[in-house]
Amino acid sequence: MARALELAAKAAEIDEVPVGALVVRGDHVLGEGYNEPISSHDPTAHAEIIAIRQAAQLQENYRLPGSTLYVTIEPCAMCAGAIVHSRIERVVFAATEPKAGAVCSHLHFFDQPQLNHVTAWTGGVMAEQATDLIQAFFARRRQEKKQARQQNS
């Protein structure tokens, strides 16, 4: 998770929401990424999707059995779907996402009985650090918007 937090910090540096993710099998990192939807002009460029794409390319297989995805925030519905389709065995996330989280905050995506793959999950790993990073990012953004409004007044 420490590496995922480092990746999240990279996202913040380019003014993207600070989310980082990596796919691991055993001791090997198969793929990693951080949020890039704004800078890449791609609404699917979430950290999880980038990490999964990289891992699938490395493995030359769209399925990633036996792998674990570490991510700094609870995955959204799009990412949860990609996790199931790629057959990732386990997801470990730091902070819950009360607005769009699809694992335990809403939807309970991995618990849907019609899915043909079961994904185990664990939340709360280094949650405080992930929450602090995201809260600081949005506080800075709010401050920048406030300053811009004041300059335009």
Annotated binding-site members for Zn(2+): 46, 76, 79
Contact of 127 with 101, CB cutoff 8 Å = no
Longest dimension (CA), the chain: 56
Which residue from 136, 147, 143 is spatially nearest to 11, judged by alpha carbons? Answer: 136
Known binding positions: 46, 76, 79
Query: CB under 8 Å to 31, separation ≥6 — which residues?
Result: 22, 23, 50, 51, 52, 53, 54, 55, 56, 57, 58
Token look-up 């791609």 returns: 42
Q: Which of 16, 32, 36, 48 is catalytic?
A: 48
Residue 137 CB neighbours (<10 A)? 19
48 catalytic? Reply is yes
Q: Which residues participate in catalysis according to the annotation?
A: 48
